[in-house]
Amino acid sequence: MNGAITTIKAGIGFGTALAITISWSVNKSILWAIVHGFLSWIYVIYYALFKA
């Protein structure tokens, strides 16, 4: 069980970092980067499906 929790936390952290990076490269806005960081994987999937 402990390994699963560690994996989930790592996935959330990676998703947040990825969303912030994508948001910054597209918008060049710290406000949007923060918003997209909170949305993390939702924004990453949206970007992959509709923007890329």
Q: Domain map of the chain by residue range?
A: 2-51
Mind spelling out the 3-state secondary structure of 12-28? HHHHHHHHHHHHHHHHC
Which residue spans within the chain are E strands per DSSP?
none
pTM listed for this prediction = 0.83
Residues constituting the chain: 52
pLDDT for the residue 52: 76
| Tens-digit pLDDT string for the chain (52 aa) | 678 888 888 888 999 999 999 999 999 999 999 999 999 999 999 999 998 7
